[in-house]
Amino acid sequence: MFNKYILFLISIILYSCSPSVETKKDNTLTSVPLSYAKRFTIKTSTDFSILELHGNKNDSDVTASFVLYKNQKPDYSKDAYYIKTPVTRVASMSSIYTTMIAALNCEDKIVAIDNVDYYNNLFIQQQTKKEAIIELSKGPQLDIEKTIALNPDLFLTFGMGSPKDDVDKKLAQSTIPIAISIDHLEETPLARAEWIKFFAYFFNKENLADSLFKITEKKYNDLKTIALKTTKKPSVLTEIKYGDAWYIPAGKSFIAHLIEDAGGDYFWKEDTKTGSSAQSFETVYAKAKDCDIWINLYNLNSKKELLSYDERYGLFKACKDNQLYNNNKTQNTLGYSNYWETGITHPEDVLADLIAIFSPTLMPNHEFIFYKKLE
């Protein structure tokens, strides 16, 4: 009887010392599906989330991993960058990032930007004027000392996907958490807009980002359906010569996709590249002299101003027919448009403008948001 009692006690002790199935945490990683973006992926577990960047053009290799955790720092990888969330003091080095952060209702978390000259956002302008928001790159270079002294708990910046290569070494060696955005490498408007999900994870706003993107996606795709009703696709030329070269967006570029989705016939649609190529005036003229519509003309505000740059622009059909449209309807006092500032977050508004330009009868009551006709 005594031996049975001892065995019973031992079994109780062993059971109490063993891990409880109910309290054990499951850190199995689950991939979060993305609909369009290809340059980042999301993986989540019970205790943390991982944002992975794919900065290499020709493969899906992970060029950087950001481990975002709310409580205890996990032990995931020695090569990963660890960031505690939600972040509350953010340095945003692009007006594009700032617009997405504002859409997530986290505008008040921004303590630094690159240069206020590029902004149309009144809140950012006002906060910068009061020095509640600090400018970190008023000149051509980032002010490293000021950035380190500010010590934000997140530094969001532009790059090609690797903080070690994309950021100044002194800043990279500081304790400031750094995250790189490579949204500019995406090829389609909705892919770039989906990057709001990337930024959302730093603020624990994943659900809001999903909801906002679904609205954008539906509006964009509904507009694409409207554009399919066009009876004639106008031929479209973009940009002007800059210096000695005319930088033409390739056939798989962001701009080319917008033109196609809006019902335009882009001259370089057969080009399978995704970036831009430098071409001579003569080459562009030979291919696109009979263009029906000409868009995205630098920061010009009139036909006269266009011709003052080069009288030969007057030889293009779109110029003769006064079919010149520029994406600078709204500008700040320094002449910077809000097109890139907010158009990436809201490609549906850009698309609506382009449909109204290419096929006015499809959008008879449209009020332009980004574009205006150059007179």
- Domain parsing of the chain, residue ranges: 30-216, 228-373
Contact call for residues 157 and 172 (beta carbons, < 8 A):
no
pLDDT of residue 57: 77
Contact call for residues 225 and 213 (beta carbons, < 8 A):
no
Contact call for residues 375 and 322 (beta carbons, < 8 A):
yes
Give bridge partners of residue 324 from the DSSP assignment. Answer: 294
Residue ranges of E strands in 183-310: 235-238, 241-242, 245-249, 265-266, 276-279, 293-295
Q: Percent of the chain having pLDDT more than 90? A: 87
Q: What's at 163, amino acid-wise?
A: P
pLDDT band at residue 69, thresholds of 50, 70 and 90?
Answer: very high
CA–CA distance, 107 with 126 (Å, rounded to integer): 12
Q: What CATH number should be reported for the domain whose range is 228-373?
A: 3.40.50.1980
Residue 350 has, within 13 A of its CA and on its CB side, a CA count of: 29
Q: Mind listing the pLDDT tens digit for each residue in 91-149?
A: 999 999 999 999 999 999 999 999 999 999 999 999 999 999 999 998 889 999 999 99
CA–CA distance, 241 with 322 (Å, rounded to integer): 19
pLDDT band at residue 6, thresholds of 50, 70 and 90?
Answer: very low
pTM above 0.85, yes or no: yes
Q: 30-216 falls under which CATH superfamily?
A: Nitrogenase molybdenum iron protein domain (3.40.50.1980)
- Is pLDDT of 3 > 90? no
Query: Two tokens at 251?
Result: 């056939």
Q: Mind listing the pLDDT tens digit for each residue in 166-182?
A: 999 999 999 999 999 99
Per CATH, 30-216 and 228-373 having the same topology is answered yes
- Is pLDDT of 18 > 60? no
